[in-house]
Amino acid sequence: MLFVPGAGKKKETEEVDVVIIGGGPAGLSAGIYATRAGLKGVIIDKGIAGGLAAEAPFIENYPGFFGIKGEELAAKMKDHAKSYLPIIEMSPISKIEKKEDGKFFIESEQGNFLSSAIIFATGTTHKHLNVKGEQEFYGKGVSYCVTCDGYFFKDQNVVVIGGGNSGAVAAITLHGIAKKITILEYMPRYMCENAYVKKISELGIEYIKNVQVTEIFGDEKVKGVKFIDKETGEAKEIEADGVFIYVGLLPQSELAKSIGVELDQRGYIKVDSKMRTSIPLVYAAGDVTGGVAQVIVAAAQGAIAALSCYEDLRLK
């Protein structure tokens, strides 16, 4: 049985076939497939397993579910994976070292592992606007998660910055909670799927295109957003009690980079069709590889990575 360290105990080093770093859909899927293939593995997550999927207010395009909350789907995936292998949460990894025998030493807050292979399923994190007031008012009206914080703005005015699919879903979710919802989009066109454009229109959510946000202002808490109309150059502002920022994602690829895994120009991990990286027996899956950031894609890539790992460890 795999040793899972407890709080306050001396760290021991457990030998496994594969360490899966990250407990989102890609990592959970990889864990299921790796274990079913006969590999001894463990999933390590620096936070709570589920990934950004758990923050999605609702998911309507995952086969088998006509509509499900992200946190519910993530919980189902987590429970499924836990029936196969240990999931260690709240355990940031401080070091990965490749040994002379080719194995990898992984040091984490809750335990150390010696592994023949690694699957990076570290996902992405929210990109920041980097405008005045964003950091100052974080937690005082500025948020990156409508599922976490949307209810705090009941009957108030809210601005969603970013009109892609994530921003559109956030705005739709806020309907029925907030008094008024406005989407601010940098591009001069709708950046979300047609289904969301239609829903936004039906709900009376304002979608302002071709603007550049310059400041989030307030005193002790958020009071509004300043922006420039890119077509006319006119400076404008809109009153808001809450600001939700959905302007893209950044790959969490630092650990992979630390052991020499090749990244692309944007910082995503480069993989082949079998999810193999530039280093033998190191794989990557999910959003950290770039491409289409969807739960179903992440889950599929996790399965591919695990099966490739099995093939490389057992069949060669």
Laid out side by side, the sheet with 206-208 consists of 142-143, 242-245, 157-161, 180-184, 206-208
- The larger pLDDT score, comparing residue 216 to residue 1, is at 216
Q: How large a percentage of the chain has pLDDT more than 90?
A: 91
pLDDT of residue 99: 94
State the chain's mean pLDDT as an integer.
Answer: 94
Confidence check: pLDDT of 245 > 90: yes
State the Cα–Cα distance between residues 286 and 294, nearest whole angstrom.
8
CB 106 within 8 A of CB 96: yes
pLDDT class for 7, splitting at 50, 70, 90? very low
- Decide: helix, strand or coil at residue 105: strand
pLDDT in tens, 257-295: 999 999 999 999 999 999 999 999 999 999 999 988 899
CB 49 within 8 A of CB 60: no
Alpha-carbon dihedral sign for residues 304, 306, 312, 315: negative
How many other C-beta atoms can be found within 10 angstroms of the C-beta atom of residue 156? Answer: 17
Residue 12 identity: E
Structural domains in the chain, CATH included, are 13-125+249-314 (3.50.50.60), 128-245 (3.50.50.60)
pLDDT of residue 100: 93
H helices then E strands: how many in the chain? 7, 17
